[in-house]
């Protein structure tokens, strides 16, 4: 793999982190870790959707459950779109399903945070490659 400048290396790490936050697993796919990226996407997305299924869309509550909302936002910025739709309070859920749903969706955010950090580390250590870069063959 060709040696990158420090600026290119820093930019690569930032791009990988942003991609990994926008779409879970996209940072890994960007550095040619396709299988790992697909597994991360499936795990984070299914965990988040399980929380929505258990507790309804009302578990995304940026007004009354702010600490949980910050955890949920780690899943993807698309959670903000759901949060703006539920801000009106029309989707009120009570009791255990609400609690379990919040826990699942926040755990999905925590899991995605770990995956973002892993993608950044892999990009920093040069373990993956950028899409479009060809491997250099040693003769």
Instruction: For residue range 67-109, list pLDDT tens digits in order.
Output: 999 999 999 999 999 888 888 767 767 677 888 999 999 999 9
pLDDT tens, position by position, 8-55: 888 989 999 999 999 999 999 999 999 999 999 999 999 999 999 998
- Angle separating helix axes 66-73 and 95-125, nearest 10 degrees: 40
- Domain ranges for the chain: 7-125
* pLDDT score at 45: 96
Q: Which residue has the higher pLDDT, 60 or 129?
A: 60
* pLDDT score at 103: 93
pTM: 0.81
- Reported as a pLDDT band with limits 50, 70 and 90, residue 121 is very high
Q: Which residue has the higher pLDDT, 55 or 7?
A: 55
* pLDDT score at 1: 46
């Amino acid at each position: 793999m060709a040696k990158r400048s420090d600026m290119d290396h820093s930019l690569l790490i930032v791009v990988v982190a942003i991609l990994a936050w926008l779409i879970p697993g996209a940072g890994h796919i960007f550095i040619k870790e396709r299988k790992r990226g697909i597994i991360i996407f499936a795990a984070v997305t299914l965990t988040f959707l399980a929380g929505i299924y258990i507790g309804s869309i009302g578990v995304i509550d940026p007004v009354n459950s702010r600490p949980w909302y910050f955890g949920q936002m780690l899943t993807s910025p698309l959670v903000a779109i759901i949060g703006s739709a539920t801000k009106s309070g029309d989707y009120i859920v009570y009791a255990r399903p609400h609690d379990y749903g919040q826990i699942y969706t926040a755990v999905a955010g925590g899991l995605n945070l770990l995956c973002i950090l892993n993608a950044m580390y892999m990009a920093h250590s040069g373990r993956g490659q950028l899409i479009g870069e060809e491997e250099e063959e040693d003769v």
